[in-house]
Structure 1
Amino acid sequence: MKNTSSTLTLTLITALLTTTAAHAHVVLPAGGANVGSPYDAAFRVGHACKDAKATTAIEVELPKAFQFREAVARSGWKLSTPTAGSQGGTVRWEAESAATALLGSEKTAFVVRGVLPAKAQALHFPVHQICDTGRADWAQIPTSANATEKLEFPAARLEVLPDNVAAVDVRDAWVRAAVPGQSGTGAFVTLQAPQGAKLVAVKSAAAGVVEIHEMKLENDVMKMRAIPALDLPAGEPVKLAPGGLHLMMMDLKQPITAGQTLSFTLTLEDANGKRRERQIEVPVRAGAAAAGGEHGAHQHH
């Protein structure tokens, strides 16, 4: 029998290593997860400590609101964990020899499985990275005193979302400005669903209809057509951009001019068929101006 949880974890780890390699911190996948759900916390380690050649141990402090189930063992590493069912506790992996340590040029994820709390909140997981030389304690947690500061060693953060809010990371969203009298325009965004999902509907008060479109070459002619849903594989960013996948806004209800911000509702469907929504605010930009790599959408629960 196929182990769905293990398959999802492997898919997520692969996506993490290929899409977030430039990130310096020990992090969890962006996009959050829903209250009360089973959750595979995959902590991505992409580098050794400063001036070190290898990571020799990883220690994760679990918040008390996180119910521990198990941690994924690693060949050549000793693993110590709390008792299954514990609320909180510490998980530690330690390389048995220099030969099995994680080299600075290698990237991997250390996975802890558990169940999320029934209340929506932000959970912080301090991670201690021990290396052949020195250590890095990714353990800083935001407080009212440091809320305006950029933390140098932030703890890994997970946004636990209400049950009706879709778990998805939204980046680089923008709408192309329309000229007066134009009946339609395009909207573009990069979406990443940490546990996998399908985008099945999009709505905006600025348009009578918003459809998911793809561009396809047929008989040497590029054609645009609507598709009923867009797959978002676990942990993989899916880019909607000019000339490819995009959102088509039709029957515009107002002028769409640069500098405006438009509201959208994204509806996602998970593997069990449950639908959830995510509200986002998206800036309007002139011509083909892209978002410049910055987060071009504000997400709302």
Structure 2
Amino acid sequence: MTTPRRALAGLATLGVLALVTPLAAQAPGITVDQPWARAAIQGGTGGAFLTIRNAGTQPDRLVGAATPLARSVEIHETVREGDVMRMRPVPGIPVPAGGSAELRPGGPHVMLVGLSEALRPGSRFPLTLTFERAGSVEVQVAVQAAGASAPAAGHRH
């Protein structure tokens, strides 16, 4: 076999392997429903909320998130300390096999710190979620009014 034919055969083999071997970023079994955020001012802090579903047979964990609109992004939980509700960073949020995790106001959520632009109702922004097993999943987050308590109906990824 000539060198060009070997190269072509090698590329064909890689192509077949690419079809058979899934990439980690494909997030097998992980889906994200209704990613949304409340409106927030430029330079301020915002929160993103969503539901993560794991149709896989292995538990997973949300371990990070990123967006170009925030200086930093943290995973937080809300806890009651006496009569005061406080938010604090956590290393991750478990997503059980065959189950789900809901990130919501007053509970676990994604905190967007140091917004480079305002989050305006009706707009969208990209958010990349990083999972321990499934890798990265990018979603488009729909911005709701500042006082919203739930996402607009029908927003799914």
TM-score under structure 1 length normalisation = 0.42
Q: Which amino acid aligns with 1:169?
A: T
Which residue matches 2:64?
Answer: 201
1:225/1:163 CA distance change after superposition, 3 Å: closer
Q: Which amino acid aligns with 2:73?
A: V
1:136-162 per-residue CA deviation (whole Å, 9 max, x = no partner) reads xxxxxxxxxxxxxxxxxxxxxxxx953
1:161/1:259 CA distance change after superposition, 3 Å: farther
1:230 Cα shift? 0.9
1:255 Cα shift? 1.5
Q: C-alpha separation between the residues in 2 aligned to 1:292 and 1:255?
A: 19
1:103-129 per-residue CA deviation (whole Å, 9 max, x = no partner) reads xxxxxxxxxxxxxx9627xxxxxxxxx
1:266 Cα shift? 0.8
Q: C-alpha separation between the residues in 2 aligned to 1:169 and 1:161?
A: 16
Q: C-alpha separation between the residues in 2 aligned to 1:222 and 1:244?
A: 10
1:212-231 per-residue CA deviation (whole Å, 9 max, x = no partner) reads 11011122322110101111
Which residue matches 2:53?
Answer: 192
1:69-115 per-residue CA deviation (whole Å, 9 max, x = no partner) reads xxxxxxxxxxxxxxxxxxxxxxxxxxxxxxxxxxxxxxxxxxxxxxx
2:84 is aligned, of 221, 226, 250, to 221
Select the structure that is richer in helix.
2
Which residue matches 1:3?
Answer: none
Matched, 1:119 2:46: no
1:163 Cα shift? 3.4
Q: C-alpha separation between the residues in 2 aligned to 1:163 and 1:242?
A: 30
* Contact 1:174 1:189 survives alignment (8 Å): yes
Q: Which amino acid aligns with 1:176?
A: R
Q: C-alpha separation between the residues in 2 aligned to 1:285 and 1:293?
A: 11
2:108 is aligned, of 232, 237, 245, to 245
Aligned residues: 137
1:161-214 per-residue CA deviation (whole Å, 9 max, x = no partner) reads 5333223110011011114x5511111000012222111110000101111110
Q: Which amino acid aligns with 1:194?
A: A
Structure 2: which 5+ runs fail to align? Answer: 1-16
1:214/1:163 CA distance change after superposition, 3 Å: closer
1:292 Cα shift? 4.0
Q: Which amino acid aligns with 1:259?
A: G
1:246/1:190 CA distance change after superposition, 3 Å: same
Q: C-alpha separation between the residues in 1 aligned to 2:100 and 2:147?
A: 21
Q: CA-atom RMSD, angstroms? A: 2.2
Q: Which amino acid aligns with 1:189?
A: L
* Contact 2:77 2:107 survives alignment (8 Å): yes
Q: C-alpha separation between the residues in 2 aligned to 1:207 and 1:269?
A: 22
TM-score under structure 2 length normalisation = 0.78
* Contact 1:204 1:265 survives alignment (8 Å): yes
Q: How does 1:10-159 map to 2 (within 5 A)?
A: 119=19
1:161/1:297 CA distance change after superposition, 3 Å: farther
Which residue matches 1:291?
Answer: 151
Q: Structure with the greater relative contact order (CA < 8 A, sep ≥ 6): 1 or 2? A: 2
